[in-house]
Structure 1
Amino acid sequence: MTMARFLHVPCVALLGAAWTLSALCPSCARADAVRVSVVQRNGRHVLERNGTPFAIRGVGGDGSKELLARCGGNSFRTWGAERLGEALDEAQRLGLNVAAGIWLGHERHGFRYTDPDQVAKQQDMVRDVVQRYRKHPALLMWSLGNEMEGDGTNAAVWTAVNSLAGMVKRLDPEHPVMTVIAEVSAEKVLNLHRLCPEVDVVGINSYAGAATVADRYVKAGGTKPFVLTEFGPPGTWEVEKTPWGRPIEPTSSEKAEWYRRAWRAVVASPLCLGGYAFTWGHKQEATATWFGMLLPDGSRLASVDVMTEIWSGKPPANRAPHVSGLAVAGSPDVEPGSLVKATITASDPEGDPLTAEWVLREEPDAYGWGGDAEAVPRTIEGAVSRASLTEAEIRMPKDPGDYRLFVYVRDGRGGAATANVPLRVKGERRPEPSKRASLPLVVYAENEQTGRPYVPSGWMGKITAMKLDPASTAQPYAGKVCMRVEYSAPNEWAGVVWQHPENDWGDRPGGWNLTGASRLTFRARGERGGETVTFHVGIIGPDKPFADSSVTKLEGVRLTPEWREYVISLDGKDLSRIKTGFGWTVSGQGRPVVFYVDDVRFER
């Protein structure tokens, strides 16, 4: 997810005409905010909007909000504030409201809660968003961050969240503040409660464990009211796998019951304020259908029908089809070019005539993490040789690898059902080749800060003791800036590697083919002199599916206070796939280690 940049737009005069803020941005200047508070009534925590009790019947996602309103929903959440004004205006028009998400940085994405500059910039961004939208009548609450807490043990994260929550409440005392965590653990609940007194509501994202989340939260010490901010089918990490490690996805009919069980269990808790089903729309996350409640054409799946019944008290007049039993004849692990026969059982509650669409797609080399954006896998055109509502014949590709067969069943009245099965073509798979790089290839230099071939996203070791400033003005080698690195712990170790793709440790295709390069050169110096650092090209070993084709290092370099050129020889190395193009590791040396790097490049 991408954090938006927000500009505070003042009232201005243009050509002698006074423009008000509302003329420039209708959602920014409303004065009729609805007061929202959390109160206790008859032993339960309850949200009130202008004194009227309000239970959240919500969703998260980009699907039709008109459909949400028709189904009996009353709220939706956002993760970031990129289009918050539009979301609030649409909600107001439809009689809905919004839990307004403000995205906070994740350390796995490179954000450092120990970096004062990053924390200050994030604080400024949050302030701008709150000041802009705090008066909007469709605002329900503020939601600071989503799953940025990691394992829950980094006190700096909780301290920053609490500081932000306090600031938000001073700017806007009319709305409660929530922060959202991934599942429940003893560390998260303990640290959130003792370090974040300014947070009013805890958002909890839970899937297979959603039905028990209320009990587990209380047993972990939770006393703050909570919202089930994401719930739905079991995640890819919570289901059975094929013998070759691919997750087995439930059918859309099976998923619907997970929504029902989660809601019934969680709303019984006196701490629960309601929930947001995930995801109202469609999204490529592991597969094209895993978490979606809607198809790309807007067709409703059974999960929508279940939530409609829960919200409105009655099922929709026309319900989605039901599917079960998708299976292939024989083994799903087949020879190249084999003919696979698949069957499924499909029915419709109202007896509507059904049609089926069968699609074979490549399986991703690796799945994303934490909702990160994923590329849509390639569809194998012409693979389906014969198909009907209940069966299909598929000619498998000749290329070894993993595939997934999907079936989409539609009733012609806006309802649909989905199922899929993982398939595998036997044989040794040849990894996707890396893109050939033009030499020289600059990894870091002052004038090469856009379109970088590698990103310093691979933080290792005691990362809380590290700081990295890519634009330090402290005596650069050339130009106006260089890179400053500080490791403040007196012991242990830490390091950073430059990765392609970002945040990948060998699970995804990528990297660069640097064939033809004979060396990596860089400039470095120590703050005092005597600092010992090891520099690397390639660190990902052959245990990973997309490893570095070569691993080498310049070990134990003792730096001087003056800039010096260093060279890592690449002669005779296999450079066909270099995923981690540059990096350094440092051990504690009894005092803070500060050093500088500049002009890093691969040369012929």
Structure 2
Amino acid sequence: MNRLGLGCALGLASLPLSLSADPARVTLEQASDGTWQLRRNGEPYVIRGAGGYEQLEVLRESGGNTIRTWGVEQLGPDASGEPLLDRAARLGLCVLVGLWVDHPRHGFDYGDEAALQRQRERILTTVRRYKDHAAVLMWGLGNEMEEDGSDPRIWRELEVLARLVKAADPDHPVCTILAGTYNDKVRAMMPHYSAMDLLGINIYGGAEGVDDALAAQGWERPYLITEFGPVGHWEIETTSWGAPIEPTSAEKAATYANAHRAMIAAKRQLCLGTFCFLWGQKQETTATWFSMFLPSGEKTPSIDAMVRSWTGVEPIHPSPVIHGLQADFREKTIAVGSQHTVTADVTAPAGAELQFDWQVVAETHDRKFGGDPEERPPVIAGCVVKQNGATVDLRLPAEPGAYRVFLYVRDGHGGGAAGNFPFKVE
């Protein structure tokens, strides 16, 4: 297999060095055989996307061509003062620009006409400000605001908003993003909301079945997978005390690759692209569950999986991979202050000089719903007794409670991996 090095020329003809400064006209066109195609200035555009707005140089070098944002605040300048859309255009990337639509679970009342009008004005202000920027690909009107999909007022308001956005900017499609397809929500939406151009679905476990689920609910138009990644912490096995068991870096990489392949190859050919999540780093149940980069910035095997998926090319420096962590107290309750050994099953290219960083971290007490911001739990000092690469002797915390053993592995070439498991002491 060919190899691709981050920082070297890719030879990817579909990625311009930068975008023209002129606004782009983006259209959806249906062929005589019923298939759909996204076109940008008349040319076919297949989305190879990532959710996030960090490490954009790495995204371009990895074969990606599009990013997705969630709200207007993410379009602001970075530390160097360069606004996000300008940075994307300079790198030849397009943006699915998120227009935040407020959620009932955050206190928004879809029966409050004054609040609805303020939201309409806020969204239109954003559209008018940015619609002529060359990096804008389409508008992402809302993200998971529908909850279980049973409130028709939300769908009707999205219809109003979509019509307003399209009147203000007829040159870019409107996409609305839902949390999965459960509860027959797409079928519930369709009688009330027809103005959007294509649907976005955020899906984790069961991503390979999205096309069949949409077909079963009567959706016959194009769609995007606007978030996908490892099995979510809400849909995975837990310990007896309720701690979700995070997949290994090897399992996550396989999930990204398999899900992307299945969704793009779905038989109806209505999926016009995918956005892996998260092209960045965040605390959500753990600091590593959805993060495609380590907290210190290294790329993980999940990014290598997307490089292979987007380009068919093997990275020159594949990240190390953690296949598992073994310990006699893994996912168990054990005595406070007891001493134990943990070993890691790690693979890396021949000659890689790996650095191992072992930590004991408190289980989060700030777990939120729907990706809302969480406070990162503290590292517990004094737990590492002796470390020898992939093996560590730990003294478990003296304070009763739930914790995790974390391992971060770095290769010195910008690659890394993370793994963890929960345990409890009493």
- Could you say which structure has the higher helix fraction? 2
SS at match of 1:198: coil
Is 1:82 equivalent to 2:73 in the alignment?
yes
Asked if the contact 1:299/1:415 (under 8 Å) is kept, the reply is: yes
Q: Provide the rounded CA distance (Å) in 2 between the counterparts of 1:203 and 1:163.
A: 18
For 1:78, give the aligned amino acid. Answer: T
Of stretches 107-116 and 379-388 in structure 1, the one that deviates more from structure 2 is: 379-388
* Residue equivalent to 1:229: 226
Any idea what the Cα deviations from partners look like across 1:121-162, whole Å, max 9, x if unmatched? 000001100111111111000011100001001011001111
SS at match of 1:358: strand
Matches within 5 A, 1:304-383: 304-330=303-329, 332-383=332-383
Q: Provide the rounded CA distance (Å) in 2 between the counterparts of 1:136 and 1:192.
A: 31
* Residue equivalent to 2:424: 424
Q: Provide the rounded CA distance (Å) in 2 between the counterparts of 1:54 and 1:62.
A: 20
Q: Provide the rounded CA distance (Å) in 1 between the counterparts of 2:350 and 2:127.
A: 48
* Residue equivalent to 2:291: 292
Any idea what the Cα deviations from partners look like across 1:472-522, whole Å, max 9, x if unmatched? xxxxxxxxxxxxxxxxxxxxxxxxxxxxxxxxxxxxxxxxxxxxxxxxxxx
What is the total number of aligned residue pairs between the two structures? 397
- Could you say which structure has the higher strand fraction? 1
Matches within 5 A, 1:150-161: 150-161=147-158
Is 1:32 equivalent to 2:32 in the alignment?
no
For 2:40, give the aligned amino acid. Answer: R
Asked if the contact 1:38/1:46 (under 8 Å) is kept, the reply is: yes
Select which of 106, 110, 115 maps to 1:109. Answer: 106
Asked if the contact 1:31/1:135 (under 8 Å) is kept, the reply is: no
Is 1:392 equivalent to 2:383 in the alignment?
no
Q: Provide the rounded CA distance (Å) in 2 between the counterparts of 1:337 and 1:77.
A: 45
SS at match of 1:47: strand
Q: Provide the rounded CA distance (Å) in 1 between the counterparts of 2:209 and 2:252.
A: 17
Residue 349 of structure 1 and its aligned partner are, at CA, apart by: 2.7
Residue 340 of structure 1 and its aligned partner are, at CA, apart by: 2.3
Residue 374 of structure 1 and its aligned partner are, at CA, apart by: 0.2
Any idea what the Cα deviations from partners look like across 1:417-466, whole Å, max 9, x if unmatched? 1110101012xxxxxxxxxxxxxxxxxxxxxxxxxxxxxxxxxxxxxxxx
TM (normalized to structure 1)? 0.64
SS at match of 1:238: coil
Select which of 121, 127, 132 maps to 2:129. Answer: 132
SS at match of 2:166: helix
Q: Provide the rounded CA distance (Å) in 2 between the counterparts of 1:350 and 1:368.
A: 41
SS at match of 2:54: coil
Residue 238 of structure 1 and its aligned partner are, at CA, apart by: 1.4
Select which of 228, 238, 242 maps to 1:241. Answer: 238
Q: Provide the rounded CA distance (Å) in 1 between the counterparts of 2:302 and 2:205.
A: 15
* Residue equivalent to 2:54: 63
* Residue equivalent to 1:201: 198
Pair 350,165 (structure 1): closer, same or farther in 2 beyond 3 Å: farther
Residue 397 of structure 1 and its aligned partner are, at CA, apart by: 1.5
Residue 390 of structure 1 and its aligned partner are, at CA, apart by: 1.7
SS at match of 1:290: coil
Please, what is the CA RMSD of the aligned residues? 1.4
For 2:355, give the aligned amino acid. Answer: T
Matches within 5 A, 1:174-573: 174-269=171-266, 270-330=269-329, 332-426=332-426
Residue 107 of structure 1 and its aligned partner are, at CA, apart by: 0.3
Asked if the contact 2:99/2:140 (under 8 Å) is kept, the reply is: yes
Asked if the contact 1:104/1:146 (under 8 Å) is kept, the reply is: yes
Asked if the contact 1:408/1:419 (under 8 Å) is kept, the reply is: yes
* Residue equivalent to 2:15: none
SS at match of 1:237: coil
Q: Any runs of at least 4 consecutive aligned residues in structure 1 with deviations exceeding 2 A, and if so which?
A: 329-332
Q: Provide the rounded CA distance (Å) in 2 between the counterparts of 1:389 and 1:62.
A: 33
SS at match of 1:202: strand
Q: Provide the rounded CA distance (Å) in 2 between the counterparts of 1:272 and 1:113.
A: 31
Pair 212,32 (structure 1): closer, same or farther in 2 beyond 3 Å: same
TM (normalized to structure 2)? 0.91
Instruction: Please identify the structure whose Cα radius of gyration is greater.
Output: 1
SS at match of 2:191: helix
Q: Provide the rounded CA distance (Å) in 1 between the counterparts of 2:176 and 2:51.
A: 15
Is 1:149 equivalent to 2:140 in the alignment?
no
Any idea what the Cα deviations from partners look like across 1:174-203, whole Å, max 9, x if unmatched? 000001000003531113222111011111
What are the ranges of 5 or more consecutive residues in structure 2 without an aligned counterpart?
A: 1-19, 77-82
SS at match of 1:236: coil
Is 1:48 equivalent to 2:39 in the alignment?
yes
Q: Provide the rounded CA distance (Å) in 2 between the counterparts of 1:310 and 1:159.
A: 38
For 1:377, give the aligned amino acid. Answer: P
* Residue equivalent to 1:559: none
Q: Provide the rounded CA distance (Å) in 2 between the counterparts of 1:186 and 1:358.
A: 42
What are the ranges of 5 or more consecutive residues in structure 1 without an aligned counterpart?
A: 1-29, 427-604
Any idea what the Cα deviations from partners look like across 1:370-425, whole Å, max 9, x if unmatched? 01000010110111111122211111111111000100111111111111010101
Residue 298 of structure 1 and its aligned partner are, at CA, apart by: 1.7
SS at match of 1:323: strand
